[in-house]
Structure 1
Amino acid sequence: MNRTFLIAALTGFLTLGGASAATTYPLTLKDDLGRTVTVKAEPRRIVSMLPSTSETLCAIAACEKLVGVDAYSDYPQAVTKLPKMGGLYDPNIEAIIAQKPDLVLVSQYGKLEGPLTQAGITVVAVNPETYDEVFSKTLTLGRIVNREAQARGLVTRMKSDIARVEILTKNVVRKPTAYLEIDPTPYSVGPNSFMGVLLTKAGARNIIPASMGDFPKVDPEFIVKANPQLILGVDARTAGARPGWNSISALKTGRVVSIPDELNTMLGRPGPRLPQALRGLAKIVHPELFK
């Protein structure tokens, strides 16, 4: 795991209520920086500075609107061919402006809104961090780009696919206590974050309390004392080299799992592949259910 994964885990969408057959413009909303933003007309040229947003736009039939994406957008295949605009903290402002976008979708992190707004570009900051926000802000994104019906369909399919996995894991008798590491600093996930909810739905009991926040930096001593039965996101050799960690139950029983790269990426993006991420995580937590 690295900082790139943590940044990806903290990137996403925004919220707005209401639904209609087609978006009426101008559309005014409050974004995740607390700014009141007006989208004057249906966006035709969009730059997405978030991998999760890029995925969602393509999943709601708006991929053709994209004229540029951040350096980490790599799914679906279509976005890999688009011009790269740099990363969240090292964006290429000149390259973004050169694409002449009528909308740039950013995170509440990275401070991109200032220079782009000064350049006369409409900027909307979007950032789901909780499980429910993944769905509500997908709907909002659909409304912003006039793909609301497609967004509703996507949300329905996602919830249905997630429910299929939950049917398997909900009544499991033994649910291991678990620690999920998303950065070796170490950072983990709280139970109310979208990743924390997935961990619970996968049939595990998160050792991180809600009081620590959604993506907390954790004292290694806390993890040793919590003594999780399952450790995810770090390999056994690395975990075993940490002071005191050999006493942890997961190390003793060999339940330390380094998450495969593709699953790792899906877990870190609050977007349309959430159901696949849950299924992959559930297979690790309860492999007996998927034989």
Structure 2
Amino acid sequence: MMFRPLCLALMLLAAPRSFADVSVRDDRGKTVSLKAPARRIISLAPHLTEDVFAIGAGRYLVGAVDYSDYPAEARRIPRVGGYNGFDLERIRALRPDLIVAWQSGNPPHQLERIEALGIPVFYDASRTLADIPTVLDRLGTLTGDTRGASRAAGQFRERLATLARTHAGQRPVRVFYQVWDRPLMTVNREQIISDAMRQCAAVNVFGALPSLVPTIDDEAVLKANPELIVTSHGPGAQSVWLGHWKRFPGITAVARGQLAHLPPDLLSRLGPRMIDGAEALCAAVDKARAAR
């Protein structure tokens, strides 16, 4: 009697597979393939930790780097190192089936050693705000949390489109974004913060500089004469960093009182909260535009 084996075979073919090979292309243009959705993930950047939580896959994180402090649950994840390097033995011991890495923010030589362990690595190299929801979608594929990823990515894209639509055709505002104090540092047009400025109809006064995070001086800021000076660094930046520019009343931003301090981390992390930072930046730009 052949009908029982035949029926069984048909049932197996018709039944949904619990696990299936998954693959995506990362920002290196390389395909990352897994035999099944990732269930033991190590994040090598705070914003990638946020990404994984945002799509609903935070429960799969078994390791993260220093400063992975959002959401609150991220603080309980075992640490595997920080910006200066990783504990490779710790990473090996955690038996990850996926590592998510920041291409421009992690030490290349250590990433090479991690890849030598044979662990699949997904690289994020977001350069625009529009890249962020794409990363969320890809991580959703790798973890099987496609519904949560689609929801988080869709919300990000909708808010981004609203910013662009609201500020389309508005008069540009010249902005200086201060990254650091000593040495004085800013960003050029290729850095993602400049893309946030573009959504607000703002112009980065140091956009043409060749370095991604160039070092400048007070004289350069005086010459650029921005209409708005912004920083989002932590404690002290609002009073000390922005207070420093009050010594130069000839700068238009100072003369008009347009010195803005945005919440820390929102514009410095390339994760889902960056849209919050972009909205806060646009509010500051709108205020500077109205002060003309």
The TM-score bracket by the shorter chain reads 0.7 to 0.9
Structure 1 spans left out of the alignment, 5+ residues = 1-21
* 8 A contact 1:240–1:246 mirrored in 2: no
Match of 2:83 in 1: 88
Match of 1:257 in 2: 260
How far off is 1:30 after superposition? 5.0
Whole-Å separation in 1 of the counterparts to 2:202 and 2:120: 42
How far off is 1:200 after superposition? 2.5
Any idea what the Cα deviations from partners look like across 1:122-146, whole Å, max 9, x if unmatched? Answer: 2222221223322322222222222
How far off is 1:179 after superposition? 0.6
SS in 1 for 2:179: strand
Give, as a single letter, the amino acid of the residue that structure 1 aligns with 2:180. Answer: D
Alignment of 1:57-206 (within 5 A): 57-108=52-103, 109-111=106-108, 112-170=110-168, 172-173=170-171, 175-184=172-181, 185-206=183-204
Whole-Å separation in 1 of the counterparts to 2:138 and 2:92: 24
* 8 A contact 1:107–1:125 mirrored in 2: yes
SS in 1 for 2:95: coil
Give, as a single letter, the amino acid of the residue that structure 1 aligns with 2:122. Answer: V
Number of residue pairs the alignment of both structures matches:
263
Match of 1:230 in 2: 228
Whole-Å separation in 1 of the counterparts to 2:95 and 2:188: 39
Give, as a single letter, the amino acid of the residue that structure 2 aligns with 1:279. Answer: E
Whole-Å separation in 1 of the counterparts to 2:277 and 2:174: 19
Whole-Å separation in 1 of the counterparts to 2:36 and 2:120: 11
Whole-Å separation in 2 of the counterparts to 1:60 and 1:239: 36
How far off is 1:232 after superposition? 0.6
* More off after superposition, 24-33 vs 187-196: 24-33
Whole-Å separation in 2 of the counterparts to 1:23 and 1:231: 53
State the percentage of identical aligned residues: 24
Any idea what the Cα deviations from partners look like across 1:181-217, whole Å, max 9, x if unmatched? Answer: 12233332334433212123234322133x4358330
Any idea what the Cα deviations from partners look like across 1:19-67, whole Å, max 9, x if unmatched? Answer: xxx9985445554456554323211100111111111111111111111
User: CA 1:280–1:240 in structure 2 vs 1: closer, same or farther (change >3 Å)?
Assistant: closer
1:39 matches 2:42: no
* 8 A contact 2:133–2:154 mirrored in 1: no
Structure with larger Rg: 2
How far off is 1:255 after superposition? 1.9
After TM superposition, the score normalised by the length of structure 2 is 0.77
User: CA 1:131–1:50 in structure 2 vs 1: closer, same or farther (change >3 Å)?
Assistant: same
* 8 A contact 2:130–2:157 mirrored in 1: no
User: CA 1:212–1:137 in structure 2 vs 1: closer, same or farther (change >3 Å)?
Assistant: farther
Structure 2 spans left out of the alignment, 5+ residues = 1-16, 232-236
Match of 2:216 in 1: 219
Match of 1:12 in 2: none
Supply the RMSD in Å over aligned alpha carbons: 3.1
User: CA 1:171–1:148 in structure 2 vs 1: closer, same or farther (change >3 Å)?
Assistant: same
Match of 1:18 in 2: none
* 8 A contact 2:24–2:142 mirrored in 1: no
After TM superposition, the score normalised by the length of structure 1 is 0.77
User: CA 1:217–1:288 in structure 2 vs 1: closer, same or farther (change >3 Å)?
Assistant: closer
1:266 matches 2:274: no
